[in-house]
Amino acid sequence: MTVYGVLALQGDWAAHTEMLRGLGADVCAVRTASELSAVSALVVPGGESSAMLRLMEPENLLHKISDRIRAGMAVLATCAGVILLAEGVDPPQTSMGALGIDVVRNAYGRQVYSTIAEIQVSDELGAPPILPGVFIRAPRIARLGGDVEVLGRWRGDPVLIRQGCILGATFHPELTNDRRVHQHFLRMGEKAHV
List residues near ligand GLN by CB under 6 A. 46-49, 79-80, 83, 105-106, 136-137
Smallest separation (angstroms) from ligand GLN to the CB of 126? 25
Smallest separation (angstroms) from ligand GLN to the CB of 182? 17
Q: Judge contact between 68 and 58, C-beta under 8 A.
A: no
Q: Residue 71 burial (CB < 10 Å; 0-12/13-18/19+)?
A: exposed
Smallest separation (angstroms) from ligand GLN to the CB of 105? 4
Give the number of other CB atoms < 10 A from CB of residue 111.
8
Q: Residue 47 burial (CB < 10 Å; 0-12/13-18/19+)?
A: buried
Smallest separation (angstroms) from ligand GLN to the CB of 68? 21
Q: Judge contact between 57 and 148, C-beta under 8 A.
A: no
Cβ-based nearer residue to ligand GLN, 40 or 140:
140
Q: Is the dihedral of CA 192, 8, 57, 48 positive or negative?
A: positive
**Nearest Cα residue to 45 out of 168, 184, 189:** 168
Cβ-based nearer residue to ligand GLN, 40 or 105:
105
Q: Which residues are catalytic?
A: 79, 172, 174
Cβ-based nearer residue to ligand GLN, 30 or 53:
53
CA angle 97–88–161, rounded 5-degree value: 70
Cβ-based nearer residue to ligand GLN, 40 or 137:
137
